[in-house]
Structure 1
Amino acid sequence: MKNRVINSFVDTQLKQYPILVITGPRQSGKTTFLKEEMSDYRYISLEDPDVRSLVLSDPKAFLKDYDKYVIFDEVQQAPELFSYLQTKVDKDQIMGQYILSGSQNFNLMESISQSLAGRVSIFKLMPFDMGEMKMAGWLADDLSTTMTMGFYPAIFQRGLNADKYYANYVETYINRDVSQLQNIQDKTTFKRFMALCADRAGQLLNYNELAKDTGISHTTARNWLSVLETSFITYPLGPYHKNYNKRMIKSPKLYFYDTGLLCYLLGIRQQKLDPLHPKYGHIFENLIVSEMHKQNFHRDLLRDLYFWRDSNQNEVDLLYSENGNLNIYEIKSSTTIKSEMFKFMDTFSSFADEESIKKTLIYGGNENQHRTNYEVISWRNIFV
């Protein structure tokens, strides 16, 4: 698919920085994007052992051959290159001189912070967001199908069976990426850990319970979850920092970036996810929160996303501050709008009465509504 939304922002940054970095999960479309949209650049994959051998044997000569307008894909495979890149871009002062790409966020970002700080503009390319899916004609009318299919490009571009795709993805991820990030010997237990994380998607993160149910230590649970976050499988959503004189929940909530992978780990297979399924509401919430994150990444938005909950179980599912307004969201999978769906947003507003607040309900129906104090938006229409 040409014209990923990120493209226009990338073009701007190439004029302002010598190095542009594109990171994101494996198979999110980074290589395809770079080859299609950056065709003026030479493309080099550092997963090729022969190429890596050249880098290791003589990095200076390597960069002399590839002196400008080059894409280095899977660049985390050759961390030795970064200090030489620093020297070269400082000397040449060419904007857009190199594009670096990689799918292991920790290794890549560690190398960047050590050698290339201030010289790079960083983008995250995730699986398709719903706006991109809609533009390509791939967004299903049916909510259940949308959630179980997920958003990984290959499923739609190559017409793959989603169940088989995610089965292969998990096996490849555990056997390759996880092994590179951390020496995990018991891969069966790690796979169970992933499934238990999926079971807790949209819920407060409790390391002790997660460790106990997996049969591992608290420290191991933290380390393994860090691996999932580093490789763009899961992410934490932090609590909003203002307490409004109430006892606040301080633990983050756990989410998955892709609902197709989430459903697979929950044992939910194609084609239909029953709205009566006990996890349906959590999966829908995950869909919406992850969509907001993907819009942040793909549209270069600087929105810090949070949730809010107090000790009395009053909760706002999602909120962020923008242009002096506090935008708060209630997320409900129901196709029917009920008055009680607005209750928690009103409760929050009463605590935060000094703030300008915009209240929005995102629900599982198909029609948008404008009400006196609220916006009601269909899940299909939450595009920036």
Structure 2
Amino acid sequence: MIAREAAKELQILAKNFKSVALIGPRQSGKTTLCKAQFPDKKYISLENPDIRLFAKQDPRGFLDQFPEGGILDEIQHIPELFSYLQQILDESETEGKFILTGSNNFLLQESITQSLAGRIGYLQLLPLTINEKKEAKLFNSEIDQNLLTGFFPSIADKKLDPARWYSNYIKTYVERDVRQIKNIVSLTSFTKFLQLCAGRVGQLLNANSLA
């Protein structure tokens, strides 16, 4: 596992809040980091359709599986859980009881603001930093090569083909995350918008050229 700079802050938050939300893009290493930092906590992923259905139909019964707390991965899929979590956290004296992760910042932050404000620590995990890649001996001395491969852990650690990986990543992002955002009407238009933005990286923003 690649050592992450966010690990220390994650532990600090878990000692000061009853719950911690680890937010970041897909494949930034959230699940790996949580499992490594809290190996004794029960883990469950809400990406699984069967688990998601159970949590949606019976939120209380679902959370009863975690009397000692746990890691709830991709919790933004089931916003119904947050009201029940609020009650559990209010009745608990345990710090760091639940570790929540989410890839859709918009949906997750909305739910946190409504139900868990003051009860939860908030930490963002982005892909690898330059220092993290250097420490793991994955940083290429050629700047162009680093720009090509990017800083997602999977590409760096497993030496994956970046062109193929990013193509599939964008497809997943658009079809699974963007679709959940209420004011995104056309996925085709949004995909074109991403392409236009990508072609203007490093330039001054000209909104008219994106219209």
Same fold (TM over 0.5): yes
Q: C-alpha separation between the residues in 1 aligned to 2:25 and 2:202?
A: 20
Q: After the TM superposition, which parts of structure 1 deviate over 6 Å for at least 4 consecutive aligned residues?
A: none
User: Aligned residue for 2:40?
Assistant: 40
Query: Is residue 25–residue 104 contact of structure 1 (8 Å, CA) maintained in 2?
Result: yes
Give the drift of 1:3: 2.7
Query: Is residue 3–residue 136 contact of structure 2 (8 Å, CA) maintained in 1?
Result: no
Structure having the larger proportion of residues in strand = 1
Give the drift of 1:95: 0.4
Amino acid in structure 1 at the alignment position of 2:32: T
Query: Is residue 11–residue 37 contact of structure 2 (8 Å, CA) maintained in 1?
Result: no
Q: Is residue 2:186 matched to residue 1:185? A: yes
Amino acid in structure 2 at the alignment position of 1:173: Y
Query: Is residue 19–residue 99 contact of structure 1 (8 Å, CA) maintained in 2?
Result: yes
The superposition leaves residues 94-123 of structure 1 with CA deviations (integer Å, 9 ceiling, x where unpaired) of 101100000000000000000000111111
Q: C-alpha separation between the residues in 2 aligned to 1:146 and 1:53?
A: 41
Q: C-alpha separation between the residues in 2 aligned to 1:16 and 1:172?
A: 35
Instruction: Single out whichever of 108-117 and 50-59 deviates more from structure 2.
Output: 50-59
Query: Is residue 76–residue 107 contact of structure 2 (8 Å, CA) maintained in 1?
Result: yes
User: Aligned residue for 2:100?
Assistant: 100
Q: C-alpha separation between the residues in 2 aligned to 1:68 and 1:149?
A: 40
Q: C-alpha separation between the residues in 1 aligned to 2:44 and 2:161?
A: 30
- How many positions carry a matched residue from both structures? 210
Q: C-alpha separation between the residues in 2 aligned to 1:197 and 1:111?
A: 29
Residue ranges of structure 2 left out of the alignment (5+ in a row): none
Query: Is residue 140–residue 146 contact of structure 2 (8 Å, CA) maintained in 1?
Result: yes
Tell me the secondary structure at the aligned position of residue 21 of structure 2: strand
Which protein has the larger Cα radius of gyration, Structure 1 or Structure 2? 1
Which structure has more RCO (C-alpha within 8 Å, separation ≥ 6)? 2
Tell me the secondary structure at the aligned position of residue 145 of structure 2: helix
Q: C-alpha separation between the residues in 2 aligned to 1:101 and 1:42?
A: 14
Q: C-alpha separation between the residues in 2 aligned to 1:94 and 1:7?
A: 20
Amino acid in structure 1 at the alignment position of 2:186: Q
User: Aligned residue for 2:64?
Assistant: 64
Q: C-alpha separation between the residues in 2 aligned to 1:50 and 1:36?
A: 25
Q: Could you tell me the TM-score, scaled by structure 2's length?
A: 0.93
Give the drift of 1:78: 0.6
Amino acid in structure 2 at the alignment position of 1:208: N
Query: Is residue 2–residue 136 contact of structure 2 (8 Å, CA) maintained in 1?
Result: no
User: Aligned residue for 1:148?
Assistant: 148
User: Aligned residue for 1:118?
Assistant: 118
Amino acid in structure 2 at the alignment position of 1:104: N
Query: Is residue 20–residue 100 contact of structure 1 (8 Å, CA) maintained in 2?
Result: yes
Q: How does 1:297-312 map to 2 (within 5 A)?
A: none
Tell me the secondary structure at the aligned position of residue 86 of structure 1: helix
Query: Is residue 139–residue 146 contact of structure 2 (8 Å, CA) maintained in 1?
Result: yes
Tell me the secondary structure at the aligned position of residue 15 of structure 1: helix
Provide closer, same or farther for how the CA distance between residues 206 and 35 of structure 1 changes in structure 2, counting only shifts above 3 A: same
Q: C-alpha separation between the residues in 2 aligned to 1:61 and 1:176?
A: 26
Tell me the secondary structure at the aligned position of residue 123 of structure 1: strand
Give the drift of 1:180: 2.2
Q: How does 1:258-297 map to 2 (within 5 A)?
A: none
Give the drift of 1:152: 0.7
User: Aligned residue for 1:81?
Assistant: 81
Query: Is residue 69–residue 98 contact of structure 2 (8 Å, CA) maintained in 1?
Result: yes
User: Aligned residue for 2:196?
Assistant: 196
Residue ranges of structure 1 left out of the alignment (5+ in a row): 212-384
The superposition leaves residues 53-97 of structure 1 with CA deviations (integer Å, 9 ceiling, x where unpaired) of 222232222222212230000000010000110111001121011
Q: C-alpha separation between the residues in 2 aligned to 1:88 and 1:184?
A: 36
Q: C-alpha separation between the residues in 2 aligned to 1:58 and 1:113?
A: 23
Query: Is residue 2–residue 37 contact of structure 1 (8 Å, CA) maintained in 2?
Result: no
What is the RMSD computed on CA atoms of the aligned residues? 1.6
The superposition leaves residues 105-158 of structure 1 with CA deviations (integer Å, 9 ceiling, x where unpaired) of 000000000000011111111110001000000000111111111001111222
Tell me the secondary structure at the aligned position of residue 72 of structure 1: strand
The superposition leaves residues 162-192 of structure 1 with CA deviations (integer Å, 9 ceiling, x where unpaired) of 11111111222222222222454352x3322
Q: C-alpha separation between the residues in 1 aligned to 2:192 and 2:104?
A: 22
Q: C-alpha separation between the residues in 2 aligned to 1:157 and 1:69?
A: 31
User: Aligned residue for 2:139?
Assistant: 139
User: Aligned residue for 1:50?
Assistant: 50
Give the drift of 1:197: 1.0
